Amino acid sequence: MILRDHPFLFVLLVVLGLSFLVQVFYYLYYYLAPAIYKHPDPIPKNEPVSVIICARNEEGNLRKFLPAVLEQDYPDFEVVVVNDCSEDDSFEVLGELLKKYQNLKVSNIIKDPKFTHNKKFAQFIGIKAAKNEILVFTDADCKPESEKWLSGLVSRFDSEIDFVLGYGGFFSRKGFLDKYIRYDCMTIAMQYLGLAIKGDPYMGVGRNLAYRRSLFFDKKGFGNHAHLASGDDDLFVNSNATGRNIAVEFRKESHTRSVEASDFSLFYKQKKRHLTTAVHYKLRDKLTLMAEPVTRVLFYFSFIILISNLFLWPVVLGFFAVRLIVQITVFILNQKKFNEPGLLQWVPIFDILSPFINAILFAGSIREGSGKNKWK
What's the mean per-residue pLDDT of the chain?
92
Rg (CA), the chain: 22
> At CB < 8 A and 24+ separation, what contacts does 348-352 make?
348/324, 350/179, 350/180, 350/183, 350/184, 351/296, 351/327, 352/300
pTM, two decimals, is: 0.93
Q: Domains of the chain (ranges plus CATH)?
A: 2-35+284-368 (no CATH), 41-264 (3.90.550.10)
Q: Is the pLDDT of residue 264 over 80?
A: yes
* Mean per-residue pLDDT, 121-140: 96
User: Regarding predicted confidence, which is higher, 160 or 232?
Assistant: 160
pLDDT at 151: 96
pLDDT single digits (tens) 281-299: 999 999 999 999 999 999 9
Q: Is the pLDDT of residue 138 over 70?
A: yes
β-strand 134-139 against 168-170: which pairing, if any?
A: unpaired
Q: Which of the four pLDDT bands, split at 50, 70 and 90, describes residue 324?
A: very high
pLDDT at 222: 85
pLDDT at 293: 96
User: Regarding predicted confidence, which is higher, 331 or 278?
Assistant: 331
Residue 104 φ then ψ, to 5°: -95, 135
pLDDT at 376: 60
pLDDT at 205: 94
pLDDT single digits (tens) 165-179: 999 999 999 999 999
Q: Which of the four pLDDT bands, split at 50, 70 and 90, describes residue 226?
A: confident
Q: Is the pLDDT of residue 113 over 90?
A: no
- Taking the C-alpha atoms of residue 275 and residue 259, their distance in angstroms, rounded to an integer, is 20
β-strand 168-170 against 256-258: which pairing, if any?
A: parallel
Q: Which of the four pLDDT bands, split at 50, 70 and 90, describes residue 325?
A: very high
Residue 137 φ then ψ, to 5°: -115, 140
Q: Is the pLDDT of residue 242 over 80?
A: yes
Q: Is the pLDDT of residue 374 over 70?
A: no
pLDDT at 366: 66
Yes or no: say if 373 and 231 are a contact pair by the CB < 8 Å rule.
no
Q: Which of the four pLDDT bands, split at 50, 70 and 90, describes residue 5?
A: low
> At CB < 8 A and 24+ separation, what contacts does 89-92 make?
89/59, 90/55, 90/56, 90/57, 90/58, 90/59, 90/62, 92/59
Q: Is the pLDDT of residue 372 over 60?
A: no
Q: What is the 3-state secondary structure (H, E, C) of the chain?
A: CHHHHCHHHHHHHHHHHHHHHHHHHHHHHHHHHHHHCCCCCCCCCCCCEEEEEEECCCHHHHHHHHHHHHCCCCCCEEEEEEEECCCCCHHHHHHHHHHHCCCEEEEEECCECCECCCHHHHHHHHHHHCCCCEEEEEECCEEECCCCHHHHHHCCCCCCCCEEECCEEECCCCCHHHHHHHHHHHHHHHHHHHHHHCCCCCCCCCCCEEEEHHHHHHCCCCHHHCCCCCCCCHHHHHHHCCCCCEEECCCHHHCEEECCCCCHHHHHHHHHHHHCCHHHCCHHHHHHHHHHHHHHHHHHHHHHHHHHCCCCHHHHHHHHHHHHHHHHHHHHHHHHHHCCCCCHHHHHHHHHHHHHHHHHHHHHHHHHCCCCCCCC
Q: Is the pLDDT of residue 256 over 80?
A: yes
Q: Is the pLDDT of residue 375 over 70?
A: no
* Mean per-residue pLDDT, 325-332: 98
Q: Is the pLDDT of residue 371 over 60?
A: no
pLDDT at 33: 98
* Mean per-residue pLDDT, 15-25: 98
Give me the percent of the chain exceeding a pLDDT of 90: 77
Q: Which of the four pLDDT bands, split at 50, 70 and 90, describes residue 361?
A: confident
Q: Which of the four pLDDT bands, split at 50, 70 and 90, describes residue 186?
A: very high
For residue 364, the tally of other CB atoms under 10 A from its CB is 15
Q: Which of the four pLDDT bands, split at 50, 70 and 90, describes residue 101?
A: very high
Q: Which of the four pLDDT bands, split at 50, 70 and 90, describes residue 369?
A: low
Provide the b/e sequence for 224-254 (b: ≥16 CB within 10 Å): ebbebbbbbbbbbbbbbbeeeebbbbbbeeb
Q: Which of the four pLDDT bands, split at 50, 70 and 90, describes residue 275?
A: confident
* Amino acid, single-letter form, for residue 376: K
- Taking the C-alpha atoms of residue 94 and residue 54, their distance in angstroms, rounded to an integer, is 12
Q: Which of the four pLDDT bands, split at 50, 70 and 90, describes residue 1?
A: low
Comparing 133-142, 195-204, 260-269, 360-369, the range with the smallest average pLDDT is: 360-369
